[in-house]
Amino acid sequence: MHLTTRLLMSIALAAASVAAGASDVPPEALHRVQAYDGPARPRSEVAILFAMDGRPRNESATICTIDGLSLERDGECASVIYVLPGPHRLTMRYRSTQQFGTGKLLVDTAANRLYQVNFSSLRVGYAGALSVIPMYDGAKLSWRNLAPGLAVGRPWVDEEVPYEPNSAHAGPVQKQVVSDADRPTVDVLLACAGKFAIEVELRKFDHQEYDSRYAAVGAFVQATLPYMAEEDALAGKALAQREAMKAYAPAFVPPEAATENSKNARAQLKADMETCVDFYRTHRSGVSAKPEAKVP
């Protein structure tokens, strides 16, 4: 097995473990948040929104903000929120073993109704589809609806999820600003995400399998999250990809029509990717200790 292939596999596995989440998270620990002020109101006066958590093996969605207020606690967004009737603007987070991302969704709710807010990957260029699924009148939210992969085998898998929050109320969104000391590390990680994204595009161009390579791109973006907000990280990755496309544009020549210029561009991309993997290995654990940036 070639060195680059082994390194790509190690990145993919790291991304999968982060994206999928720990397999021993009990469903009852998933955040349920009262997203309105004042004391709790009767169920008949409130709408319930939930996003299906597919951990440990499948894609998952969570609700991170509502009307500009944060629902995130301890690095995790909400799985269930209790809201007053009316329109609400949500920011959602998507996770799978290969991809992750955020998206915005407008939901119009009615009292005493249950809604599934869904975020599904189209598995094409990090694109995803967001939707609202109103459940039938009188529908109850069970653990099987909310987290089937985590609740399966439990005696209460089909019991109704308690109508009560288990996490703090929604609060102001805290803007995470990258410090001057961390900026070099973030810039390299995002630049590497851009390079690996170009490798995905090059594999598409060559009509090779590419879907699993999204995990490697995601690993570099994930590594920036101790330093910056996810939305900013995704925007930075998109910018880095555009810059990398300019730098490696000569590589996009069919192998059968390769030129010296295209061969050199492909070789440079391969070398840069291997350098990125070395950098990733020393900087992915920045949550507990953020080392000095060493730009390769």
How many Cα atoms sit within 13 Å of 5 on the Cβ side?
A: 2
pLDDT for 291 beyond 50: no
Spatial CB neighbours of 232, under 8 Å, sequence gap ≥ 6: 176, 178
pLDDT band, very low/low/confident/very high, at 196 (cuts 50, 70, 90): very high
Residues 5-51 pLDDT 10s:
334 434 443 444 444 344 457 888 899 999 999 999 999 999 999 99
**Least confidently predicted of 38-47, 119-128, 201-210, 245-254:** 119-128
Please tell me whether the peptide bond between 56 and the residue prior to it is cis, using omega within 30 degrees of 0.
yes
What is the C-alpha to C-alpha distance for residues 266 and 271, in angstroms, rounded to an integer? 9
Q: Is 160 helix (H, G, I), strand (E, B) or coil?
A: strand
- Hunting for tokens 């319930």 — which residue is that? 48
**Least confidently predicted of 139-148, 152-161, 275-284:** 275-284
- C-alpha angle 18/58/237, rounded to 5°? 45
Residues 199-225 pLDDT 10s:
999 999 999 988 778 878 888 988 888
Alpha-carbon separation of residue 286 from 21, 47, 100, 182, 198 (angstroms): 18, 39, 19, 10, 25
% helix, strand, coil for the chain, step of 5 = 40, 20, 40
**Least confidently predicted of 64-73, 85-94, 117-126, 239-248:** 117-126
Full-model pTM: 0.64
Provide the CA 168 distance to its chain's centre, in angstroms: 22
Domain limits, the chain: 23-172, 176-283
